[in-house]
């Protein structure tokens, strides 16, 4: 179903006019109201009056996560604080968090965008939508809630935190028809179903929308097989309000981008040069309707590519390929973002040196399991088993504390780790 | 219907509009709101061909009218109701109206003219009552109606109104805006430039906020009314005005 045909099926020429109007007014606003952008445009000698087409955007500088951190908490807001009606934030696990402000209009747009994504997966006002995303500083729970409510579905805000089995009982008793969660959590639910002796056919699940972490087609198959539902992919970024950037239609071949609110580009993550449609690179997004927290050419760190062929579903918007990886090696383990560099930091802190390491992630009964292999160096080696064990536990505790995930630590001999064809140790091996 | 892209315009060395893009779809009332000297009127005058565009393009029904002469633009179906009404004081109401059809005078026969005048009179009954009165003797509100009626005589596809509320008492403003809404409901397309933001947004479908020659906000009327930044910073002064 197409929620808003006017925009989702907008002829290309009309969309281009709308995009340039919105881009120009966004640029005029950020230049006037956000010191970061004024300085950045002035420094790069950019005359925003000369940005005449979407193609001209290439002249504009990028915005990075680091820029947002430096502006913490409110320096990137483009409206006075009294116009902000909501603040969400990133976890700040990899550094300072980022505060994300929303105006009243931003919240209205957010609801609309999520409603489109949900409708794309066939959600209607007859559905019981169970939202197994946390309702907190993280954007997932609230964003999906607004969208589902806007469609008129019966919303069950079950959240992710807490007992999985209780989640399943709610699903069973309330006759949930649509599940919204991370793909890994969906698999956890599937694993627990088995444990509880509930057959998926005893549930009323019809479809599910999954996102907030990179996943692949094999995971889609596993979820569909174990939960007996039709699984759809959705994509969002906290910094882009949260869910609602793009979502799959019934074709399940790429995610339709809400182009009347977001302009997407793909760049080479190393040279920062724009890449043509179809080529994979880092996803860069510019907001063109946002009032509270507009972002120009924001580097998401997610790897994707653009599909510009017509879609049989009738939507005219560009599609993006599923995000399967990140340009910065970030992996999501049980819903937690983990960067290999953080693991390196923990190792440095606990051992005092920089040993080589490898993160191996596997799926055991729907739970992500993290194994950390650490290369034992001469100067680390100790005859005393106890000391080695202490070190091992020290590392595991450090990982748990700093990253929020538990890890099994294994010491391995030199040169035994899996290497790439170039002989480099791959930091992450994802077996999921 | 009307598409403006990256329009730059001004007077001599003075650049007033700095890269304005906007569009008006058929059957819509679109309003452009902004404070004094923000470039609202220059925008309309440029679209009407009275002020020359320096850069950018203006497309009217797909046809480039960026550098067309004013009468050609009227001929193409784009009429301006100028700021301050600009009716001919020493001519009668009827003569003012007939002059509105000047651009298509060759094709307009006198017999048809009567029918067209009747349409205008049915819309604004006050004009019928004062048909033979001199324009200068009308009240402000009546003059505004005359100016709108005169523009309609050109049988435009798009009517551009420059500050129709200017210098009118609030109750008259309300009436004029009600008439503008009726024009839209009758199938006309309207581009309305206003300082009286709230009144304009109440009847408009969409709007653009212009500030020192640049569009700083666009959206549906509801979105613009929601935006308290607008009401506070940008148009606080406008609403009070």
Query: Would you say residue A115 has pLDDT above 80?
Result: yes
Task: Give percent of chain A above pLDDT 90.
Answer: 69
Cβ <8 Å between A49 and B18: yes
Q: By three-state DSSP, how is residue A412 classified? A: strand
Q: B217 contacts in A (CB within 8 Å)?
A: 25, 29
Lowest mean pLDDT among A137-151, A203-217, A258-272, A383-397: A383-397
The answer, yes or no, to whether residue A379 has pLDDT greater than 70, is: no
* Partners of residue A369 on adjacent β-strands: A362
In this complex, is the C-beta atom of A51 within 8 Å of any C-beta atom belonging to chain B?
A: yes
pLDDT of residue A378: 67
Helix A140-151 × helix A104-120 angle, to 10°: 70
**What confidence tier does A17 reach under pLDDT thresholds 50, 70, 90?**
very high
> Which two three-digit tokens encode residue B230?
């607008």
Q: What is the pLDDT along chain B (241 residues), one digit of tens a residue?
A: 999 999 999 999 999 999 999 999 999 999 999 888 899 999 999 999 999 999 999 999 999 999 999 999 999 999 999 998 999 999 999 999 999 888 776 665 667 788 889 999 999 999 999 999 999 999 999 999 999 999 999 999 999 999 999 988 999 999 999 999 999 999 999 999 998 888 899 999 999 999 999 999 999 999 998 876 555 444 444 443 3
The minimal CB distance from B5 to the residues A20, A48, A80 is found for: A20
Q: What is the pLDDT of residue A390?
A: 86
**What confidence score (pLDDT) does residue B42 get?**
96
Task: Tell me which residues of chain B have a C-beta less than 8 Å from any C-beta of chain A.
Answer: 3, 5-6, 8, 18-23, 56, 208, 211, 214-219, 223, 226-229, 232-233
Buried b (16+ CB within 10 A) or exposed e, B70-84: eeebbebbbbbbbbe
- Of the CA atoms within 13 Å of residue A101, those in its CB half-sphere come to 21
Q: Using pLDDT thresholds of 50, 70 and 90, give the confidence band for residue A102.
A: very high
The 3-state secondary structure of chain B, one letter per residue: CEEEEEEEEEECCEEEEEEEEEEECCCCEEEEECCCCCCHHHHHHHHCCCCCEEEEEEEECCEECCCCCHHHHHHHCEEEECCCCCCCCCCEHHHHHHHHCHHHCCCCCHHHHHHHHHHHHHHCHHHHHCCCCEHHHCCHHHHHHHHHHHHHCCCCCEEEEECCCCCCCHHHHHHHHHHHHHHHHCCCEEEEEECCHHHHHHHCCEEEEEECCEEEEEEEHHHHHHCHHHHHHHCHHHHHC
A204: left (phi over 0), alpha (psi -120 to 50) or beta: alpha
Q: Does A296 touch chain B (CB under 8 A)?
A: no
Average pLDDT over chain A reads: 91
Give the largest CA-CA distance in chain A.
73
A180 against A92, higher pLDDT? A180
How far apart are the C-alpha atoms of A361 and A432, rounded to whole Å? 7
Residue-level pLDDT at B238: 42
What pLDDT was estimated at residue A256? Answer: 98
In this prediction, residues A8-13 reach a mean pLDDT of: 96
Q: Burial level of A411, CB count in 10 A (0-12/13-18/19+)?
A: middle
Report CB contact under 8 Å: A49, B214: yes
- pLDDT mean over A333-351: 81
Q: Which helix (H) or strand (E) holds A262?
A: strand A262-267
**What long-range pairs does A344-350 form, CB within 8 A, spacing at least 24?**
A345/A402, A346/A395, A346/A398, A346/A399, A346/A402, A346/A403, A347/A374, A347/A395, A349/A398, A350/A391, A350/A394, A350/A395, A350/A398
The encoded tokens of residue A98 equal 């980022």
Average pLDDT over residues A139-151: 97
CA distance A296 to chain B (A): 15
Looking at per-residue confidence, does A174 or A347 come out higher?
A174
Among B213, B223, B225, B231, the residue to mutate for chain A (most A Cβ within 10 A): B223
CA distance A22 to chain B (A): 7
Chain A contacts of B43, Cβ < 8 Å? none
How confident is the model at residue A336, as a pLDDT? 75
Suggest the residue from B16, B226, B231, B236 to mutate for an interface test with chain A (most A CBs closer than 10 A): B226
Long-range contact list for B135-142, CB < 8 A, 24+ apart? B135/B87, B135/B88, B135/B89, B135/B90, B135/B91, B135/B92, B135/B93, B135/B96, B136/B87, B136/B89, B136/B90, B138/B87, B138/B93, B139/B172, B140/B85, B140/B167, B140/B168, B140/B169, B140/B172, B141/B168, B141/B169, B141/B172, B141/B175, B141/B176
For residue A48, which residues of chain B lie inside 8 Å, CB to CB? 19
Q: What's the pLDDT score for residue A422?
A: 62
Q: Which of residues 155-184 of A touch B (CB under 8 A)?
A: none
Single pTM value for the model: 0.87
ipTM of the complex: 0.91
| pLDDT tens figures, A197-237 | 999 999 999 999 999 888 889 899 999 999 999 999 999 99
DSSP helix/strand/coil, A130: strand
Name the A residues in 68-97 with CB < 8 Å from any B CB.
79-80, 82-83
Closest CA to B188 of B30, B22, B23: B30
Residue A141: predicted pLDDT = 96
The reply to whether residue B21 touches residue A20, judged by beta carbons under 8 angstroms, is yes
To probe the interface with B, which of A28, A33, A104, A112 has the most B CB atoms within 10 Å?
Answer: A28
Please give, rounded to a whole number of angstroms, the shortest distance from the CA of A30 to a CA of chain B.
Answer: 9
Provide the β-strand partners of residue A248.
Answer: A255
Q: How far is CA A57 from CA A257, A272, A430, in A?
A: 18, 13, 36
Cβ(A162)–Cβ(A154) below 8 Å: no
Q: Report d(CA A372, CA A395) in Å as an integer.
A: 9
Q: A107 CB near a chain B CB, below 8 Å?
A: no
């Amino acid at each position: 179903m197409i929620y808003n045909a006017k925009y989702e099926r907008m002829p290309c020429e009309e969309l281009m006019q709308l995009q340039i109007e919105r881009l120009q007014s966004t640029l005029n606003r950020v230049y006037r109201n956000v010191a970061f952008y004024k300085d950045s445009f002035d420094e790069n000698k950019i005359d925003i009056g000369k940005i005449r087409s979407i193609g001209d955007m290439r002249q504009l500088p990028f915005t990075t996560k680091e820029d947002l951190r430096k502006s913490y908490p409110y320096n990137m807001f483009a409206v006075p604080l009294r116009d902000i009606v909501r603040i969400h934030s990133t976890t700040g696990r990899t550094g300072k968090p980022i505060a994300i402000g929303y105006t009243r209009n931003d919240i209205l747009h957010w609801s609309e965008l999520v409603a489109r994504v949900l409708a794309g997966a066939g959600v209607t006002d007859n559905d019981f939508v169970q939202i197994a995303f946390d309702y907190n500083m993280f954007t997932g729970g609230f964003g999906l809630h607004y969208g589902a409510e806007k469609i008129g579905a019966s919303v069950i805000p079950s959240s992710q935190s807490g007992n999985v089995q209780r989640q399943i009982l709610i699903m069973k008793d309330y006759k949930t028809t649509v599940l919204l969660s991370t793909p890994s959590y969906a698999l956890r639910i599937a694993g627990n179903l088995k444990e509880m002796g509930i057959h998926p056919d005893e549930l009323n699940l019809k479809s599910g929308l999954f996102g907030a972490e990179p996943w692949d087609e094999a995971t889609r198959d596993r979820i569909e097989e174990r939960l007996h539902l039709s699984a759809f992919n959705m994509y969002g970024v906290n910094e882009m309000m949260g869910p609602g950037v793009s979502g799959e239609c019934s074709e399940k071949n790429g995610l339709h981008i809400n182009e009347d609110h977001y302009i997407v580009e793909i760049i080479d993550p190393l040279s920062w040069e724009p890449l043509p449609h179809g080529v994979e690179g880092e996803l860069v997004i510019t907001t063109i309707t946002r009032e509270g927290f507009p972002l120009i050419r924001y580097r998401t760190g997610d790897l994707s590519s653009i599909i510009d062929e017509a879609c049989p579903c009738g939507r005219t918007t560009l599609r993006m390929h599923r995000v399967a990886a990140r340009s910065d090696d970030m992996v999501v383990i049980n819903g937690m973002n983990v960067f290999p560099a953080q693991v390196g930091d923990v190792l440095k802190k606990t051992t005092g040196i920089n040993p080589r390491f490898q993160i191996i992630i596997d799926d055991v009964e729907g739970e992500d399991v993290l194994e950390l292999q650490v290369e034992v160096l001469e100067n680390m080696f100790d005859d005393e088993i106890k000391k080695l064990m202490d070190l091992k536990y020290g590392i595991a505790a450090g990982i748990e504390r700093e990253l929020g995930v538990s890890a099994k630590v294994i010491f391995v001999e030199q040169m035994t780790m899996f290497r790439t064809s170039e002989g480099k140790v791959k930091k992450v091996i994802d077996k999921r | 219907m009307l598409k403006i892209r990256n329009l730059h315009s001004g007077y001599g060395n003075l650049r007033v509009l700095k890269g304005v893009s906007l569009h008006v779809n058929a059957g819509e009332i679109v309003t452009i709101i902004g404070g004094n000297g923000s470039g609202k009127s220059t925008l309309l005058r440029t679209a009407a061909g009275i002020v020359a565009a320096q850069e950018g393009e203006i497309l009217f029904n797909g046809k480039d009218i960026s550098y067309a002469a004013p009468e050609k633009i009227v001929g193409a179906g784009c009429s301006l109701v100028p700021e301050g009404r600009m009716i001919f004081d020493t001519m009668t109401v009827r003569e003012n109206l007939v002059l509105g059809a000047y651009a298509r005078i060759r094709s307009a026969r006198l017999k048809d003219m009567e029918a067209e005048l009747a349409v205008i009179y049915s819309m604004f009954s006050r004009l019928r009552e004062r048909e033979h009165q001199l324009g200068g003797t009308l009240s402000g509100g009546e003059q505004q109606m005359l100016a709108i009626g005169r523009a309609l005589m050109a049988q435009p596809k798009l009517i551009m109104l420059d500050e129709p509320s200017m210098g009118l008492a609030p109750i008259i403003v309300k009436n004029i805006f009600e008439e503008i809404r009726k024009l839209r409901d009758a199938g006309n397309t309207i581009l309305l430039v206003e300082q009286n933001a709230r009144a304009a947004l109440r009847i408009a479908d969409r709007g653009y906020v212009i500030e020192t020659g640049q569009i700083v906000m666009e959206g549906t009327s509801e979105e613009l009314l929601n935006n308290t930044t607008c009401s506070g910073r940008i148009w606080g002064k406008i609403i009070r005005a």
